[in-house]
């Protein structure tokens, strides 16, 4: 396995999904990336994670670009769009399949939930592994009949073949790192490719970070546990491991994480209410000045 720290100029990336409008949580993460890139004298990339073509829309990508420009954030161009790189994910899947780390799963979400005996770190039902024993011949026959399948990682075999000490350098929001032990087994046999997706989030971000030369991943603390899966995939695919910086989450007055699903106030709405980029920076701790306009807009 390669070194845990990449050589060369630092490279960071902000990677939103165009499945809704950006909110203050996205702004905080983008500002964190900007600050770390400046501190490290590094490059800052934009990646559009648009593999889910059902939910991701061109109008949301346009809104992302407008919001980031309004906030004063500058990224290298052009942005990488995941939807244009299915071949990269297929190559990674082929490499994993050649070593028998991947198997076809024909279970529906309802079947997975019914047979699950636990939950993964995100709270989703853990897969029981019932399709792991299906032969290649049977899988091919079921595909020929038109059955849809996902591709899953054989977690037990993957861990057996991975380095015995799997970890990453975690900085949080500080300047000193700690060695964080990876615990990928908590996720069970994760999906690597969906029924209608070229790659799952876990596989896509692992491949993208390597191909873009990302040295420092700055993202929300809600993805801290997922890093265990990403480190495992990096080891299996012989990819370098970035340094990780998982930052705090921006919460609403009720203490819940801001999200598109909860219809948290969007940056576009705040802009329409007369809130300035300077007020947003100040409110999120990235600059001095008055953030009172933001408080009024959120009230």
Strands 43-48 and 11-14: parallel
Q: Is residue 192 helix, strand or coil? A: strand
Bridge partners (DSSP) of residue 13 are 45
Q: 228 near 184, Cβ under 8 Å?
A: yes
Paired tokens of 96: 């994993």
Asked if residues 231 and 26 have their Cβ atoms less than 8 Å apart, the reply is no
- CA–CA separation, 264 vs 24, rounded Å? 8
Cα 133 off chain centre by: 30
- Alpha carbon of 21 to those of 6, 81, 144, 248: distances in Å? 33, 17, 40, 20
Q: Which residue out of 57, 148, 257, 260 is catalytically annotated?
A: 260
Residue 78, preceding peptide bond in cis (omega within 30° of 0) = yes
CB-CB contact of 266 with 22 (8 Å): yes
SS3 121: coil
For this structure, is 260 an active site residue? yes
For residue 125, give the nearest of 36, 188, 60 by alpha carbon. Answer: 188
Q: How far apart are CA 28 and CA 205, in angstroms?
A: 20
Residues involved in catalysis: 260
């Amino acid at each position: 396995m390669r070194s845990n720290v990449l050589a060369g100029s630092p490279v960071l990336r902000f990677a939103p999904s165009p499945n809704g409008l950006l909110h203050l949580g996205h702004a905080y993460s983008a500002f964190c990336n900007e600050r770390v890139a400046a501190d490290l004298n590094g490059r800052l990339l934009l990646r559009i994670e648009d593999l889910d073509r059902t939910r991701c829309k061109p109008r949301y990508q346009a809104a992302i670009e407008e919001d980031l420009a309004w906030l004063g954030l500058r990224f290298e161009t052009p942005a990488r769009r995941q939807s244009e790189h299915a071949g990269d994910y297929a190559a990674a899947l082929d490499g994993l399949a050649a070593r028998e780390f991947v198997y076809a799963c024909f279970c529906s979400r309802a079947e997975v939930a019914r047979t699950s005996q636990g939950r993964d770190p995100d709270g989703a039902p853990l897969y029981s592994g019932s399709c792991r024993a299906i032969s290649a011949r049977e899988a091919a026959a079921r595909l020929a009949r038109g059955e849809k399948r996902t591709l899953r990682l054989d977690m037990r075999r993957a861990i057996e073949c991975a380095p015995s000490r799997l970890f990453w350098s975690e900085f949080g929001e500080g300047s000193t790192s700690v060695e964080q032990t990876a615990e990928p087994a908590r996720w069970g046999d994760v999906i690597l490719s969906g029924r209608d997706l070229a790659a799952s989030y876990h596989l896509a971000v692992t491949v993208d970070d390597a191909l873009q030369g990302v040295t420092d991943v700055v993202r929300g603390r809600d993805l801290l546990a997922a890093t265990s899966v990403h480190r495992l995939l990096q080891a299996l695919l012989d990819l370098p491991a970035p340094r990780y910086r998982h930052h705090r989450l921006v919460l609403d007055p009720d203490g819940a994480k801001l999200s598109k699903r909860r219809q948290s106030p969007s940056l576009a709405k705040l802009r329409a209410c007369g809130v300035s980029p300077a007020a947003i920076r100040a409110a999120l701790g990235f600059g001095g000045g008055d953030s009172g306009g933001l408080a009024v807009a959120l009230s």
